[in-house]
Amino acid sequence: MNGQLGFSPQLIEFMSQTGRFDLVSLLLTIIGLILVAGGIFAFLNLRRVARETAKEEAATVAEAKAERVTNEYLQAELPDLMEAYRGFFDSEDAISDEDADRMANAQEDGESK
């Protein structure tokens, strides 16, 4: 048992003469290529799944954040908006009931005046 991994020198010489090392080398190359292709496929699949998951999570977080920011804005600005609209309706420039009726009738009749 002078050879590597317990192979006898006669066995190594026989395999070398009959081309068995070429077959083993070819099989190891094919196995290596299959593993590389599987690794590339696994990487691409994992990247796709991660991207889809990230999009879903980002949409959920963005929706919650937008809702919170909108509520905060409305809480802060609603009193000012109500005051502005109240001032608009209570102003002296408001139209009279007769003018409002005339405009409503004009819209119903299709007049442009």
List the domain boundaries for the chain. Answer: 4-92
- For the ranges 4-18, 46-60, 88-102, the maximum mean pLDDT occurs at 46-60
Q: What mean pLDDT value characterizes the chain?
A: 84
């010489």: which residue's tokens?
A: 13
Nearest to 11 by CA among 21, 25, 23: 21
pLDDT at 85: 77
Helix (H) or strand (E) holding 91: none
- In whole angstroms, what is the distance from residue 12 CA to residue 74 CA? 84
* Positive or negative torsion for Cα 64, 66, 69, 74: negative
DSSP string over 11-37: HHHHHHHHTHHHHHHHHHHHHHHHHHH
pLDDT at 24: 83
* Per-residue pLDDT tens over the stretch 75-93: 998 888 888 777 666 666 6
pLDDT at 28: 93
For residues 97-108, average pLDDT: 85
Full-prediction pTM beyond 0.75? no
pLDDT at 1: 42
pLDDT(111) > 60: no
* Per-residue pLDDT tens over the stretch 20-72: 777 888 899 999 999 999 999 999 999 999 999 999 999 999 999 999 999 99
